[in-house]
């Protein structure tokens, strides 16, 4: 979710009902070097509480060193990403790459818990590959070293984002009578009905929605409505255009026009998913670098579907 769950997008998600927010993940090494982009990723507004700053790394010293920098921003908790499967992260032993060395994972996590003045949470995966899914025992061991909550993505590291997320082991962790910390499930929740089913079937304390929210901040409101037994509210084309436009303008104010115009391309498919004949607008949207041109495209979309 790097370059996606930035401050402007989190603001939208919060407005549409997200209960808890987490920043983009931030490399401990980059924070210690005072990299400008990493410091920007830590920014959040007062309205975004409760929020956690998510960090990653493979070096215990680097991770411990960055704690003070993170805590100065006064988030509500610090989240350690032991789940990212991408090569540039996991290949260095960070993210889900640490699942090859559970003792190291536990040692670093415990050191961070002991040093931090804020609650420390962890996000991880079922295991490294199909032959090694130690999450039930690992969850207990992470709890024993003092983490405040655990989020579990229902895939292994080697699966990346392929296949379907397996929630059965997430449910087993939650049902373990020895577990007393909150357990959050993650993976393949892209509709409010899936969120309701996951909560009902597996009994998790919360559901993390990542890819399902790209260009779709309404999913949080819709999930909340599903939990309350209410009918799903239709999101009109006019509302899609308005919110997407607001998102783009907020991103430009936050990152500058060049960067925002490029990064927002990841969201357009979600904002206008399912609209007939949308290809005539999608192609120019993902190719333009001009805000003026994008504003004209927004106007054309609204007129075409009115």
Known catalytic residues are: 84
DSSP string, 3-46: TTS-HHHHHHHHHTT-S-EEPPPEEHHHHHTT-HHHHHHT---G
Which residue has tokens 């449910």? 171
User: Residue 88's Cα: distance from chain center in Å?
Assistant: 18
With contact defined as beta carbons under 8 Å apart, do 205 and 184 qualify? Answer: yes
* Strand intervals (E) in the chain: 21-22, 26-27, 51-56, 77-82, 120-125, 149-153, 183-186, 206-208
Is residue 268 packed enough to be buried (19+ CB in 10 Å), middle (13-18) or exposed (0-12)? buried
């Amino acid at each position: 979710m790097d370059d996606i769950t930035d401050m402007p997008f989190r603001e939208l998600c919060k407005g549409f009902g997200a209960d808890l927010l987490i920043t983009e993940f931030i490399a401990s090494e980059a924070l210690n070097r005072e990299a400008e982009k990493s410091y920007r990723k830590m920014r959040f507004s007062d309205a975004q509480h409760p929020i956690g700053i998510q960090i990653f790394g493979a070096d215990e010293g680097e991770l411990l060193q960055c704690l003070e920098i993170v805590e100065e921003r006064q988030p509500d908790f610090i989240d350690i990403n032991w789940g990212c499967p991408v090569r540039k992260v996991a290949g260095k032993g960070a993210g889900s790459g640490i699942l090859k060395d559970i003792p190291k994972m536990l040692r670093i996590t415990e050191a961070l818990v002991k040093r931090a003045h804020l609650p420390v949470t962890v996000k991880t995966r079922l295991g490294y590959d199909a032959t090694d899914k130690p999450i039930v025992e690992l969850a207990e061991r992470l709890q024993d070293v003092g983490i405040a909550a655990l989020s579990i993505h229902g895939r292994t590291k080697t699966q990346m984002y392929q296949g379907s997320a397996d929630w059965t082991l997430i449910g087993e962790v939650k049902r373990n009578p020895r577990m007393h910390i909150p357990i959050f499930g993650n993976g393949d929740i892209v509709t409010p009905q899936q969120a309701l089913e996951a909560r009902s079937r597996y009994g998790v304390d919360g559901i993390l929605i990542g890819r399902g929210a790209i260009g779709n901040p309404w999913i949080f409101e819709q999930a909340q409505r599903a939990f309350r037994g209410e009918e799903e509210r239709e999101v009109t084309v006019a509302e899609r255009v308005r919110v997407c436009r607001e998102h783009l303008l907020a991103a430009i104010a936050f990152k500058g026009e060049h960067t925002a115009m490029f990064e927002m391309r990841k969201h357009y498919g979600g904002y206008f998913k399912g609209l007939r004949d949308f290809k005539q607008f999608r192609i120019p949207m993902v190719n333009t670098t001009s805000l003026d041109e994008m504003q004209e495209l927004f106007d054309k979309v609204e007129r075409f579907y009115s």
